[in-house]
Amino acid sequence: MKKIILILLASIFHQYLFSQENFKKRYNLMPWPQNISENNSSFKINESLTISISGEDSENRVKNASVQFLRRLSNRTGVFINNGFPVKDNIAPIQLRFESVSNLKVNSNETYAIEVKENNILIKATTDVGVLRGLETLLQLVNFNKEGYYFEGVVIKDAPRFLWRGLMIDVSRHFQPISVLKRNLDAMASVKLNVFHWHLTDDQGFRVASKTYPKLQKFASDGLFYTHEQIKEVVAYASNLGIRVIPEFDVPGHATAILTAYPELGSKKNYDYKVERFSGVFDPTLNPILEDTYTFLENLFTEIAPLFPDEYFHIGGDENEGKHWDENKEIQAFKKENGLKTNHELQTYFNIKLEKILKKLGKKLMGWDEILTPSTPTTAVIHSWRGKQEGLAQSTLIEAAKKGYQTVLSNGFYIDRMLSVKHHYLQDPIGNEKLTKEERSRILGAEATMWSELVTPTTIDSRIWPRTAAIAERFWSSKEIRDLDDMLRRLKVVNTNLEELGINHIRNTDYILRNIAKDNDIEALKVLSKICEPLKIYSRNKGGTEYKTFSPFTLFADACVVDAEDAIIFNENVTDYLLNEDNINLKEIIYYLEIWSENHEKFTKINKNPISNSLAPLSNNLSKISTILLRSINKKNISKTDLNKAKELNNKLQNPIEDVELVVTESFDKLIKLCEKKFL
């Protein structure tokens, strides 16, 4: 009897797990909520759907979000909704309730709850921003069948894991127009990111107009900068979405653009400062012993800081190697007189002065983790970008938190490094570090960083999205949400939905390929782009052609993206087939080999030009190796000549070409070995 009971319990538990797995796979929510349950109902979407708001919506955030919700819902479903604006009727089918208006501080409440029943939907939140987060979740609950569209019947209680969930966009290396920023703010809000970190100055450009120091826009911007009104416009747009805006003015290093306009503030006298056109770390640095330097920064910050309501102000502070400080005898004498042994200590002296300036302006200094020294006041916020891969014993995030600093992490979330979504998704901001409750409270959250050396307004969306949607889940959802396959399933849906917000990461790929082909027939190029990825970890800008800020970024590498879709499928098919040797995976392998085998003939019909010609060896070798493998698999026979030729071709294909790498060569190698073992 006991054995029978155990068997029954095991069966029930197995059915429970199976039902939970199926339950999860019904929904395409991202980020995944903290708590979700089903209630066996659904709410039909029809033309009579209306929304009512209960709460003092003084900032109009909920009203504006409701209007956009109805527009997106109507466009997504094709339903002609009769009333496209919130109504005053308290018995509207969708009711939005909140208690207060968020002041958009770091600790603002974003919790919300949703209950979807057959006849009504209720979203409750403490603040208006919580309602915004709930509306985005509700939109992700849209489903359909042959009879129409409906909201899934669920009960959700949700809250973010981290308070600070950001995206940094560098507009200095490549200027990004207001329209680019707005569409990315919309996308950020759709996945519940709440901080836009605006990297406004660097060696390649100073991007803010200054009435106090007009030479900055005249000589340091190439005419590409934001006016005060435009900055206010972006800040207001972000605020409407429940997103805070943190400005960054990078000093004392990364200052070439500033010194192009005001060379008298430089650490090296009689130096020909010019706006930098290349990428990298450069020597021009503000002079930290000149009072004029601090007068300049105080006047500039006094003018600029009021444009940004948030209390945090980022001063950069990274990658200052101090070469010009070392060459300046006056600076060396100053260090000696003041007992400053290293350039790091001198920079701390500089940072402390800035901290006092910003404090007078009601701002809290934030900087990259190089500012972390024993003398740095604990009022500073440490932005951690370095970890063990930079030779450190641990992430500077943990070190700073243990030393009493508030911290934000970006180490592991540098999306410009072109690493896979899986790589970023498995990075946990805290990891398995043992922290006290107080230390944990100092870790505010994390940011993905989009440095723009190799991106333009045409390509930036494809470099940010969709990976940042998965990263946003890591910042919002429970640490235990780590199922890669399920994340990828949901991300596929989210990726498509991003287009309705104006994100052009999918459509601009075709534009670049048409530019290469000089024709509308881009099928052959598209086939190649789906199995090639841009070179990773900055290697695109090393060894070969070094890109300048005004170099072409409409090349084949710019059309290729991380996580090449056909390569992922093919590689999985090969891996699974080698484990099981099943017909389903074999058919998929043959399907792709046939496409690639025939593709070069189509490629040869593309209009010949220098860019397309440079891809010919890749296309030709891919076709040849695919033909050999296809023939061998179909005939279950491979000659010694074909075997050696396949190995030779795969060796060639493993070499990068035109700043991309073919990411199916490992699978080709597995298939070659399989043919050698079974068919030779």
Question: Please, which residues bridge with residue 299 across strands?
Answer: none
**Residue 157 contacts residue 125 (beta carbons within 8 Å):** no
Q: Is the dihedral of CA 246, 250, 256, 262 positive or negative?
A: positive
Q: How far apart are CA 386 and CA 207, in angstroms?
A: 26
Q: How far apart are CA 369 and CA 372, in angstroms?
A: 5
Q: What is the DSSP string of 447-465?
A: EEEE--TT--TTTHHHHHT
For helices 616-635 and 583-603, angle between their N-to-C axes, nearest 10 degrees: 140
Q: How far apart are CA 534 and CA 367, in angstroms?
A: 30
Q: How far apart are CA 250 and CA 253, in angstroms?
A: 7
Residues contacting 614, CB < 8 A, separation 6+: 556, 657, 658
Q: What is the DSSP string of 297-347?
A: HHHHHHHHGGG--SSEEE--------HHHHH-HHHHHHHHHTT--SHHHHH
560 C-beta neighbours (distance < 10 Å), count = 26
CA 261 to chain centroid, in Å, comes to 32
- Residue tagged active-site, from 115, 319, 433, 523: 319
Q: How far apart are CA 345 and CA 556, in angstroms?
A: 45
319 annotated active-site: yes
CA angle, residues 64, 67, 70, in degrees to nearest 5: 150
Residues contacting 29, CB < 8 A, separation 6+: 36, 137, 140, 141, 490
Annotated catalytic residues are 319
